[in-house]
Every structure is written in structure tokens, then in C-alpha cells.
Structure 1
Amino acid sequence: MAPEMATEQVGRSGQRPWRRPLVLGTVGSVLILVGGLGAAAGAVRDPLMSEGPISWMRYGHGKMLAALVVYLGYVLLVTAWVRLGRHVLAGRAGTRPVLLAAACWTVPPLVAPVALFTRDVYSYLAQGAIALQGFDPFTVGPTVLPEPEFIENVHPFWQSTPAPYGPLFILLVKGIVAVTGTNIVAGVLAVKLTNLLGLALLLWALPRLVRHLGGSLPVAAWLLVAGPLTVVHLLGGPHNDLLMVGFLAAGTALVLDRRHVAGIALVTLGVAVKASAAVALPFLVWVWAGHLASAGWRAFARACAGAVAVFAVVFGAVTLAAGVDLGWVTMVNASSRLVNWLSLPTAAGELLHAVFGGLLDLSRDPFVTVTRVLGTVLLVVVLARQWWAARVGGVAAVRRAGVALFAVAVLSPTMLPWYLTWALAIAAAWAWKPRQLAVAVGLSAFMAAPYSPEGETMLYVWGLMIAAIALSVLAAVSLVRPDPLRLSERS
């Protein structure tokens, strides 16, 4: 523990110093809710915001003010999260206060009838409507729908794009649209409530993962459940990644507990939501093999055969229930249409273009294409090396799976802020050092900056990016050094 933390006083907060961060974060979360009504991605024909008494928040100066309120709320939320983290690391806050804070911070984004920092949820609803009306969501986009309510809310960039998600998620959103119909606001709230299943699975899995991986439950809950990536992006978004990482974490915990069939089945359900969860399966085969009485490649062959059989049965059953085929496999890279520098290979291509493209009067595309190909090659090498090193089985294989998931997030052609939760669903249960947590805090805090509250990219607004990076560094340092700017006489 950092020496600065050991000397931080409990002070005027009495015996429960975590109360102030809890209240501060709740205020920030409520401000995000209030500002989000005008600045976030709301339904086009929302009766409250389109023509109601507070519709002014969606236009002109009203919208600018609403956006400022969202950002102010986010700053307060992150400040509270960092302060709570200091109490957790100093042993002044346990798991219950962290979960209480997470609950208070989660409710406002959960009940907000808008999508925060994204418009993806409207694509989800359109894909559910496509399946419900008998079209193939893996070959056609929202533009085939006769109802304008679905099409007009999908971001124009994605209106002709088929669904890149698995059959289980199509089945879920198909059911949601069957209930909510063309009431888009109700559909958004229903998707958020459905995502609570993923959160429940995470809460169930974390204690078990911590027991195996040697971490701290208060730290894991603070980092993952109470963190802004979950509160603002996964729940406030909402993003189906929360369902995926819930199945992934729960399945991994079961495999570590030697309940291999059930564990592989749950991770398979995660794959049936979003294909990224499949990265963990080869690593979990090593864990299963390590638990068998036989040794060497014989154990691996038995575990591999068992895992493949479980995957085939579960995935096949879900596919049949959803009434779709395997066409979604061809769409898993749909996000690669996006070009942003959060992806390391894409960032390298853009940097090279900035240096040489102007001199040679060349388009950005060939630079980005080449670096993305090289990034894919590097990713394959990293995954292969991590998988081979995981052959010892046990918790070492699970840790390697976390590294592999992080590599997939940052080395793929496109990276989006909430992709970091893929690895964090496992890595949160590791034994973290304070300085490592500070890096995680800085990354998490920054991840609201890449997109505006209504989901438009801000990555090339360089003044905003510089300010966001500076504030994120301040948040990171503040975890291990209270008052790093020396603004308090007590410091």
C-alpha cells in the first residue's frame, strides 16, 4: 500500500468515511440522468422530450447546458469513485459499502429513458424487430423495416448494417420488441433491465473468482461493479457486453470450481450474445484438462472433446430457439468499419499518415489498412503464445485468458471504450497493486471522452482529448496520492 494512503485520516467522516463518496457519486449520477434527458441519445419521438415542457433541453443552448451537466456529473462520479477506492485500499470500506455505492450510482443511469454515450441500443431494438417480422437480421439492416420509429433512431452509419451479435441476444431483443412494440422508450428501458442479468452473474461470480485468483473482493467490486465503465457505459449505454461478461465471469468461476460442463455452457451463452467471449474457451479447456486424472495430451484431448460437445449442444439449442442460422459469424467484424485511434493498430496507421501522408499526398486508408493487418498478425501471435503458456492449467490459464481478452480489445481493428470490460470481468479478481489500479483508474476515467453524450465521436476534438487525458491522469494519481495538486494545507 502506498505510504500516502496509510497516513490519510478518517477525519470528519467518523466511522463511515465512505459515506461522503457515496453521496457525492450519487449526486453525480443524478446529474448525468438530468443532463442526459437533453444531451444523451434519446428517442426521436419521445413524447416527454420532443414536445414536452422540458423539450428545450434538446436544442441549441439548452442542449449545450445539458451536456455540461452530464460532464459535471461524470466528473463528480469519478471523483467519488476514486475517493471510495482510497478507502477500500486503506481498509476503511469493505464489500458492502462498495456495493451500496454501486447501487446508488447505478439507479439513475438505469432508469434514464435515454442511451448514454452511444446509440447502439436503438440498433439492438431494430435487430429484434427485424427478427420478429421474419427477416434475417444477419443479412439485412434496419432499413427493411416498415416502421419509421426503429429506423430513425438508429445511427445513420449503421442503418444498413446486419446484426453482428449472436443468436441468444437476437432472441432476447426479439422478445423485448414483441412486448414493447414501437414504443422505443419502453424498449430502451427493457434492454437496461435485461442487462441486469449480466450484472447479477458478475456479482455471483466475483467472490468465487477472487477466491481462486487471489485478489480482494472489495477491490474487485469497486473496480468492476462500481466503476464508470459499468455504471455509465454498460448500464447507462446500455451495451450487451454486460450480458456477455456476466456469462463469461460466471462460467469461468464454475470451471475453476471443477463444474466444467456448466461453466463451458455459460461461457457458450456468452458467445451466443457476443463472439468475443469465445476467446476464453481454449484457455478454459486447459483448466479442465488440469483437473482430470489423466495427464498430458490425453487429458487435453478429453477436455477438448467435452468442451466442444457442450459448446455444440448449447449453441445449437440457442440457435434453434432463436430461429436463425450462423450468418452472424460473417458480421462479427462489422465494427471494423469504424476508424478511431483507440485501436492501437489504427492509431499507428493514423500517426504514420500524419507524418508521411501529407508529404506524399496519400489517403489515410492504405496506412490504416497495412497497420491493421500487422496488428491482426501481432494479435494472433499474442493469443497463440498466451494459450500455449496456459497449458499448465489452473488459475494461470485463467490469468492468461484475461490477458488475451485485453489484447483482443486493443489490437483489433476497432476498439470501443466498453471493450475494456471483457478482460476486467476476470482481471478484477486478480491481486492488484495500488499503482496498477491507478493505471486502471486513468483508463476507466478517460473512456467517457471518446464519444459525446449522444454517441458522436469526439476523438478528433484535440482540445477536449488533451483536457480529458489530463483529468484522467489526475484521477489516476489521486488514487495513490491524496491531493496530488497540493491544494490542501493538510497535504
Structure 2
Amino acid sequence: MTKFTPKLTSLILLTLASLLGYWLIWSWFPLRPYFNTVPLQDVNSLAPSLLAGLGYGLLLLALFGLYWLAFRAVQDGLAKPSFLFLLGTAALFAIPLLQTYPINANDLYRYVIRGRVSSVYGQSPYAMPPDAFPDDPFLPLAGEWADATSPYGPLWELLAAGTTAVTQNNLWAGLLAFKLVGLLAHLACGWLIWRLLARAAAATQRSFTLLWLWNPALLLMFVVDGHNDVLMMVWQLVAIWWWRQKRPLLTLLFLLLGALTKPIGLLPLPFFAVAIWRELENGTARLRVFGLGMMLGGTVVFLSFLPFGSPLDLLARLVRESSGAPGFSPSTLLLLILGELGQPLTPEFIASVASWARLPYVLLGLWLLWLGWRYGRSPLKAAADFLAAYTVQALSFRLWYSTWPFLWLLLEDEQAHAHVPFRLQAGLWFLLNVQLSVLIYGHLRVYLLGGSQLAAHLIGIPFVFLLPLLISFFTSRRAA
């Protein structure tokens, strides 16, 4: 139970100040006036000046600063909030965010539109893109992805179909429904993290749960933008719970459910498979667990794709996406430099660069598997490393990629720390810098760099991918 001490009163003041910040975001970027307008909006269009962009950046920094002060107060034992306090304040922050326009990712609209492919038109979103239904009233809102089929797993598409079957032609209700899914999944993750940290020191359990629930980047991604990655993370946290309970079959099943929500969820699965193989006592136990796992997994995959047809359509879609449309990534910076030097940036050349960028990533995955096999290195650490590396090698980096490693970094070390571990620090700075990067590729590029994508990438790539590591390195050394 929360004890209202003077120190907790200061935490309440931080709560109120944070709530004010989120209220300012809602008042600045309200959903209601713009939710059904074309073209779709973003930070650049709703804050259309260099001064406005600076104001948005300062607001983000203020929210992260309040978040960090709250974390330090809880970590140092100066405030001892209950889980209900942490959960309730996170839900309070989300109230204005549910009414905020999805300023940094408009996938929310495609959740509605692709859900209607199934619920309204009775077709598979893996076979039929939105523009196959030219009379759909929401088609203009599909934007650049109007001719693209779904890149998500069948569990997500089943949820999307069910949601849009309820909201029908009410776009406002559809958007709010998907935002609410993101909020509920975010809170569910917070509860699971609290439970998973039950064996840690009390201050660590409270403060690390706050690091999830109060995180401005996660609230912006999962509530403002309603991004579906958080539902995948719910399954992954349940898998970690079963792994800690020594239930290997359930561990593998829930990791698979995460991948069937969003295919990127496949990446942690091999590391847990290796860890489980090592932990099982003999060949008979391994045959039983992995034999049953393959049968159960195959059945789940079959049943989840049954309403939509073959999973090969999804696989083909993912292959196309991974080999084209470069943007905001180290590979894109390389392409821009080569283009400046006279190299024609043909689709074939871009695909070739993407393939070469994947080679060291595959080698890293094999090395991480070997570390797990030979030395029993934690699969949580391997998952964090592999997902972080994915964000670096991806041809087209997206803001929500930065959320993927954070979950694993948060749980990979339960011991109490006087200071945040280097890896977790880097994950926190990565989340912040990614949020600020929209100002580099938007306002800074437009108003100070003459619209140059190359100049924006020369600033943005080190800012996003190198600066978090450097800051964390020096702060960790100073703390030591």
C-alpha cells in the first residue's frame, strides 16, 4: 500500500507536472479536428516552424526529465509507491494521449483499413491490399501503403477484424479502439514486469516498473500512435514468466504467439530454444519438449492462418519490405553518399546493399547462439542484442523499432544497482534520441539544411545510433 510521506508528495508533484506535459501534447496535436483529413498529419505539419519544432523538442526533454527524476526518487528509496499507484498514474497520463493525433506513425489508420478488408469485405489482408476496394470511404487515408498487403501476423489481423467489425464505418471509434488496445497492452506489460521483478530488491521492482509504465517514448508509441508492437511484447513477457517457472513448452508457445502477432517476434525464439535445450536433463526430455513443441506450434500456426489462407503471402510481403524503401538508417546514409558520388540508386542496387548489410547481422546471430550454447549466456541478453542490431542493419528504420530491445534490457539483470546499468542506460537514451530525431529529419532538414536528406542523415544517424552509447559509456564510467 502506498504511504503518503513528504517524499511521495514530491512524486505526486512530478506526476502532476508530467500530466500537464501530456495535456499540452493533446492540446497541441488534437485528434478530433484532423482525424479524417487528407493528407495525414505529422509533427512537421502540425508544428510548422523551426520555433514550433524547438518547442516540441523541449517538451519531450521536459517529460523525460520528469520521468528520470521520478525514477531516481523511487530507485533511491525516497518514495515507495505501490504498483496500483504506478499503474494508475500511467493510465492517467494516457487519458489525454488517447485523444492525441498519431503524430509520429500513421499505421493506426492502416489497422482500421486493413481490418475492414476482413470484417467488411470478407477478404484476406495478405492477399488483397486496401486499394482493391476503391469505394471504401477510408481508402484515401491509406496513404503510401494503399497498394500494400499486411505485414502483421494473423493474431493481429484477427484482432483488427474483430475491432473493425464492431466500429464499422465510424473512423473515430476505430482509431480510439486501437489506441485503447495499445494502452491496455502497455498496462498489462507493466503488471507482468512487476511480477517478473518480484525476486528483485523492492526499490528495483518499483523503479524498473516505473521505467516501463512512465516512459514517455512508450506512451507516445503505444498510446498516441497505437502501435501494435506492445501486444507482441505482452506475449513475450508471458513467455519469460513461463521460462522462469521452468515450463519450456509454454515458453516456446508464447514466444510463437508474439511472432504470430508481429513477425519480428521470431527473433528471440532461437535463443530461448538453445537455453531450454541446455537446461533439459537428457535426450528423452528434449525429444518430448521439442517434439510436442513442433506439433503444438504447427497447429497454432495452421489455425491462426486458417481464416486468411497461406502464410506464404505474408512471407512474400516481408521479403519485399526488407529489400526496398530505404529510410532513416545507416544503410540509407551509405546509399545517399554513394548517390552523391554518382552511383545510380536502382532498385537492384538498393536490394544488394540491403543483402550485404544483413550478412554481419546473421553472423552476429550465430555468435550469440554459440554463446548461449557454449556458455549458457542469458537468452534475454541475446534477444536484446539481436533486436538492437536489427535496428542498425534495417534498410528502413522506424521509430517503434527502438522499443523492441527495451523490454529485454529492463529484465536482463534483476540485481539492485546504485546506478542504471550501461546497457539499460543506452536503451533509455536510444528511446529519447529516436523521439527527437523526427526534428532532425523534419524541421532541421526543411528549415536549416535546405531539404537535404544527406545532411539530415549525416546528423541523424550518429545522433540516434552512436550518441546513446557514448553518453552511457561516460556516465557509467563516472558512476563507477
Q: Distance in 1 between matches of 2:8 and 2:192?
A: 30
Q: Does 1:35 align with 2:28?
A: yes
Q: Does 1:265 align with 2:253?
A: yes
- In structure 1, the residue matched to 2:310 is 325
* Cα offset, 1:208, TM superposition: 4.5
Q: Distance in 2 between matches of 1:305 and 1:391?
A: 20
Gaps in structure 2 of 5+ consecutive residues = 446-451
- In structure 2, the residue matched to 1:488 is none
Partner of residue 347 from structure 1, selected from 333, 358, 362: 333
Conservation of the 8 A alpha-carbon contact between 1:30 and 1:73: no
Of residues 434-443 and 234-243 in structure 1, the stretch that sits farther from structure 2 once superposed is 434-443
Conservation of the 8 A alpha-carbon contact between 1:117 and 1:456: no
Of residues 358-367 and 82-91 in structure 1, the stretch that sits farther from structure 2 once superposed is 358-367
Conservation of the 8 A alpha-carbon contact between 2:433 and 2:463: yes
Q: Distance in 2 between matches of 1:406 and 1:58?
A: 26
* Cα offset, 1:319, TM superposition: 2.0
Q: Does 1:20 align with 2:7?
A: no
Q: Distance in 2 between matches of 1:60 and 1:167?
A: 34
SS in 1 for 2:277: helix
- In structure 2, the residue matched to 1:487 is none
Q: Distance in 2 between matches of 1:420 and 1:186?
A: 28
Of residues 178-187 and 29-38 in structure 1, the stretch that sits farther from structure 2 once superposed is 29-38
* Cα offset, 1:88, TM superposition: 3.4
Q: Distance in 2 between matches of 1:39 and 1:24?
A: 24
Partner of residue 368 from structure 2, selected from 381, 386, 389: 386
Q: Which amino acid aligns with 2:244?
A: L
Conservation of the 8 A alpha-carbon contact between 2:190 and 2:212: no
* Cα offset, 1:383, TM superposition: 1.1
Distance 1:257 1:272, change over 3 A: same
Q: Distance in 2 between matches of 1:99 and 1:333?
A: 39
Q: Distance in 1 between matches of 2:334 and 2:251?
A: 38
Gaps in structure 1 of 5+ consecutive residues = 1-11, 51-56, 485-491
* Cα offset, 1:231, TM superposition: 0.4
- In structure 1, the residue matched to 2:448 is none
State the TM-score, normalized to the length of structure 2: 0.80
Distance 1:261 1:201, change over 3 A: farther
Partner of residue 78 from structure 1, selected from 28, 39, 64: 64
- In structure 1, the residue matched to 2:359 is 377
Conservation of the 8 A alpha-carbon contact between 1:39 and 1:63: no
- In structure 2, the residue matched to 1:396 is 378
Q: Distance in 1 between matches of 2:359 and 2:43?
A: 45
Q: Distance in 2 between matches of 1:235 and 1:15?
A: 26
Conservation of the 8 A alpha-carbon contact between 1:198 and 1:243: yes
Conservation of the 8 A alpha-carbon contact between 1:25 and 1:79: no
- In structure 1, the residue matched to 2:240 is 252
- In structure 1, the residue matched to 2:449 is none
Conservation of the 8 A alpha-carbon contact between 2:243 and 2:251: yes
Q: Which amino acid aligns with 2:151?
A: P
Q: Distance in 2 between matches of 1:286 and 1:419?
A: 25
Q: Does 1:305 align with 2:291?
A: yes
Deviations 1:311-362 (A, max 9, x none): 1122222222x444312122124543332233x33334434x2xxx434464
Q: Does 1:139 align with 2:136?
A: no
SS in 2 for 1:160: coil
* Cα offset, 1:173, TM superposition: 0.8
SS in 2 for 1:272: helix
Q: Does 1:129 align with 2:110?
A: no
- In structure 1, the residue matched to 2:266 is 278
Q: Distance in 1 between matches of 2:215 and 2:14?
A: 13
Distance 1:466 1:268, change over 3 A: same
* Cα offset, 1:166, TM superposition: 1.0
Q: Does 1:202 align with 2:189?
A: yes
Distance 1:59 1:346, change over 3 A: closer
Of residues 169-178 and 36-45 in structure 1, the stretch that sits farther from structure 2 once superposed is 36-45
Distance 1:446 1:361, change over 3 A: same
Q: Distance in 1 between matches of 2:45 and 2:335?
A: 36
Of residues 201-210 and 221-230 in structure 1, the stretch that sits farther from structure 2 once superposed is 201-210
Distance 1:216 1:144, change over 3 A: same
Q: Does 1:233 align with 2:221?
A: yes
SS in 2 for 1:217: helix
Q: Distance in 2 between matches of 1:73 and 1:147?
A: 41
SS in 2 for 1:332: helix
Distance 1:192 1:184, change over 3 A: same
Q: Does 1:149 align with 2:134?
A: no
Q: Does 1:439 align with 2:432?
A: no
- In structure 2, the residue matched to 1:115 is 102
Q: Which amino acid aligns with 1:27?
A: L
SS in 2 for 1:131: helix
Deviations 1:355-401 (A, max 9, x none): xx434464486765444222211111111111222126877123222
Q: Distance in 1 between matches of 2:396 and 2:319?
A: 9
- In structure 2, the residue matched to 1:217 is 205
Deviations 1:120-171 (A, max 9, x none): 011111111112212221122111224443211122x211011111111111
Distance 1:211 1:160, change over 3 A: same
Distance 1:440 1:404, change over 3 A: closer
Question: How many correspondences in the alignment?
Answer: 452
